[in-house]
Structure 1
Amino acid sequence: MTTDPRVNPAEDGPQGPQPQNADKAAIEEQLARIKADISGLASTLASIGSSRLNDARGHADGRIHELTRAGEQAIEDLRRQLNDVERDMSLKVREKPLQTLSVAAGIGFLAALILRR
């Protein structure tokens, strides 16, 4: 019996497709499953990334709010301290006007000497 090398008797037999075609179909099915798994993983990673981004954004918003509140409180404290200093200075000027005028003149004289050079 002569066999033609171009014909593979394992491909088609009397009962239909043989092992080579079945292997090809199984491989294609596995590839389709792998693609679906990769797609699912990508979707899961995107969801996790989005969730973490939202968490980070919420944390940042909270910190901004805290820092803004702390800054406003610091400004209010400084304003109060400045008002206290201003009130104390006014009282001292009223209590001792000549001494205050002398101190102011001395400070002005020293400033003029320093700025002159």
Structure 2
Amino acid sequence: MTTATKTQGNRKDADLAAEIEGLRKDFEALAERFTTISDAGVRSARDYTREKAAAALDKGEGVYSELSARTSELEQQAADQIRRHPLQALGIAAGVGFLAALLTRRR
């Protein structure tokens, strides 16, 4: 091989090394960009989940409050009816007990 051929070969090797280094830097930049994008996506998903969980909790608390109030109201109505008609309430309770006993004996 001549000196010119060796110099040309070294230049090609240097050019190839420079191209590879440029590609490596480009890949690193792309990897960093993807990491940034994925981190932003994870943060967005986490924030969305937190917002939805908070909204569901608020809604659940509202439903629980309504049910609790309605249950208290029904309990008060039942107590009032029992006070007004104690014998009728006793008869209904005895009938329900009798039916429950019949149903459990047949099984």
Tell me by how many angstroms 1:10 deviates.
2.9
- Residue 93 (structure 1) aligned to one of 70, 74, 82: 82
Q: Which structure 1 residue ranges, 4+ long, deviate > 2 Å from structure 2?
A: 7-12
1:19-39: per-residue Cα shift (whole Å, max 9, x none)? 222222111111100000000
Between the two proteins, the alignment pairs up a number of residues equal to 106
Matches within 5 A, 1:1-117: 7-11=1-5, 17=7, 19-117=8-106
Q: Aligned-pair RMSD on alpha carbons? A: 1.3
* SS of match in other structure, 2:4: coil
Identity value in percent: 27
- Supply the distance in 2 between the matched residues of 1:38 and 1:76 (Cα, whole angstroms): 56
Structure with greater helix percent: 2
Gaps of 5+ in 2: none
- Report which of the two structures shows the higher radius of gyration computed on alpha carbons: 1
1:49-107: per-residue Cα shift (whole Å, max 9, x none)? 00100000000111111111111112111111110110110111112111111111111
- Length-normalised TM-score, structure 2: 0.91
Gaps of 5+ in 1: 1-6
